[in-house]
């Protein structure tokens, strides 16, 4: 089975997805170990920082009601 287009794009961008927001945006970490959590926007083909670390992301997602900016 061939990888999906978003999987290929994420891999080419050096990203590993670990979850989604349920609306098509994947949350990712860089394969180089950079701690910043990114949101991958497939329509734009770009990643945007949403949290300084996985710990910050988790706290915001669980305590902050799931809104990550």
Question: With contact defined as beta carbons under 8 Å apart, do 17 and 41 qualify?
Answer: no
pLDDT at 1: 45
E-state strands within 1-69: 15-20, 26-30, 37-41, 46-51
Among 63, 62, 35, 60, CA closest to 49: 35
**Phi first, then psi: what are they for 30, rounded to 5°?**
-80, 145
pTM of structure: 0.77
Per-residue pLDDT tens over the stretch 12-51? 778 998 988 888 888 999 999 999 999 988 888 889 999 9
| pLDDT band for position 60 (cuts 50, 70, 90) | confident
pLDDT at 56: 93
Task: Output DSSP code: residue 67.
Answer: -
Structural domain boundaries in the chain: 5-62
């Amino acid at each position: 089975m061939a990888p999906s287009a978003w999987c290929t794009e994420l891999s080419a961008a050096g990203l590993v997805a670990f979850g989604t927001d349920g609306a098509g945006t994947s949350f990712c970490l860089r394969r180089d170990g950079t701690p910043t959590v990114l949101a991958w926007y497939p329509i734009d083909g770009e990643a945007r920082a949403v949290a300084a670390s996985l710990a910050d992301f988790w706290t915001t997602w669980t305590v902050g009601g799931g809104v990550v900016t």
